[in-house]
Amino acid sequence: MKINSLSKQRIKKIVNCFAAELTAIDTANKLKIHRNTVNKYYRIIREMIAQHEEQNFKDYYAESGADFYRLCWNKNTGLNLLPEDDTLAYYMMAYQGKVHIAPEDMPIANALNPEMVESEDARSAQFFYNYAKTKLIKFYGIRPQYAYLYLKELEFRFNNQDKNISSLIWKVVSQPNGKRKRGEGVGADLDDE
């Protein structure tokens, strides 16, 4: 399914705006594209990043004995470490300075609170929590079903702070992925050019 017929150049501009953390409204105004089109591409980019990061999680998880830390998302109060009513529970693994959000369907037992643990990994988890909480303040209104995608995006940004994020995102969205069928997603639009 082809979602739009934007040129490769326009898609690259959307990716650059996404990398620069522009909102969909700002991107739509800047590029003179309808906001719904930008929102659709932003969601697809987040989905592709999530797939990419889930593969990285599997690689790290297989080789580590790392601890998991709880993250909770509440549509009214945002990101928290302690569960409240109506919260979605997520888990993060911190290992060697990187943070990975566990896939939503992965059962985790004995999740810790990073504020209660003294280790380098716990400090990385606490740093990510503070980073993510600050970044997500502007997204308190996100739908609960998209919270995981936003956390995976922030995981990607956090783990690649020292790199050119725009070129990394472009690499993720333009490379073929076995989980997507040809004709789906941002990369599919590029295949036809």
- Distance, CA of 42 to CA of 24 (rounded, Å): 8
Task: Characterise 142 by phi-psi region: left (phi > 0), alpha (psi -120 to 50), beta (else).
Answer: beta
CB 108: neighbour CB atoms within 10 A?
14
**Top-ranked range on mean pLDDT: pick from 9-23, 137-151, 173-187:** 9-23
Q: What is 37-55 written as a DSSP string?
A: HHHHHHHHHHHHHHHHHHH
Partner residues linked to 98 by β-bridges: 95
Distance of alpha carbon 87 from alpha carbon 109, whole angstroms = 17
pLDDT at 189: 47
Report yes or no: 112 and 70 within 8 Å, Cβ to Cβ. yes
Nearest 10 degrees: CA dihedral of 34, 38, 140, 91? 160
Q: Is the pLDDT of residue 154 over 70?
A: yes
Q: C-alpha dihedral over 77, 85, 157, 21, to 10 degrees?
A: -40
Read off the pLDDT of residues 126-142 as tens digits, 9 standing for 90 and up.
999 999 988 888 765 68
The better pLDDT of the pair 121, 45 is held by 45
In this prediction, residue 64 carries a pLDDT of 62
Domain residue ranges in the chain: 8-191
* One-letter identity of residue 41: Y
pLDDT digits (tens, 9 = 90+) for 23-73: 999 999 999 999 999 999 999 999 999 999 988 777 666 566 777 888 888
pLDDT, mean over the chain: 82
Confidence of residue 144 (pLDDT cuts 50, 70, 90): confident
Q: How confident is the model at residue 3 (pLDDT cuts 50, 70, 90)?
A: very low
Q: What is the pLDDT of residue 104?
A: 66
Report whether 80 contacts 35 (CB < 8 A). no
Q: Distance (Å, rounded) from C-alpha 144 to C-alpha 64? A: 30
Please write the tens of the pLDDT for every residue from 88-98.
888 888 888 88
Beta bridge partner(s), residue 78: 74
Q: How far apart are CA 115 and CA 68, in angstroms?
A: 13
Tell me the whole-structure pTM to 2 decimals: 0.83
